Amino acid sequence: MQKTSDYYVVKQKAVPEVLLKVVEAKRLLESGKAATIQDAVERVDISRSSFYKYKDDIFPFHDTAQGTTITLSMSIEDEPGLLSDVLKVIADFGANILTIHQSIPINGVASLSISVQVLSTTGDVSRMLETMEERRGVRNVKILAKE
């Protein structure tokens, strides 16, 4: 029986430093700023063995999100225009909104679920989520599903 791979979405602050350095080394190679793997790993200060061990297992979220539907869950304060601000962030990043569901606010906070189609022209999804979280009145943003 073949074992399937499990995938997790975690925030950058929860990822060990060595994995972040592997991502950076891959970026240096892809951009041409490092000509060899040895050059890339020296620049980010990791061993070649660490690079080879993790290179196929870590990648920025945006690299795998294109062409998919992402369902987001968030809690937002009941303030005029806040939903519009959140939707504008999605539009500014070039994603396509498929569904929106907002609960009736309880104690001044509403639960919001949005399904978004990530297109080839969509900007960095991780940055889009960060931009939403930075809005005053947005309590949290989580990815519920990726299809």
- pLDDT tens across 93-113, in order? 999 999 999 999 999 999 999
The pTM of the whole model exceeds 0.75: no
Average pLDDT over the chain, rounded to an integer: 87
Find the mean pLDDT for residues 62-66: 55
Query: Higher-confidence residue: 120 or 45?
Result: 45
Report d(CA 33, CA 12) in Å as an integer.
23
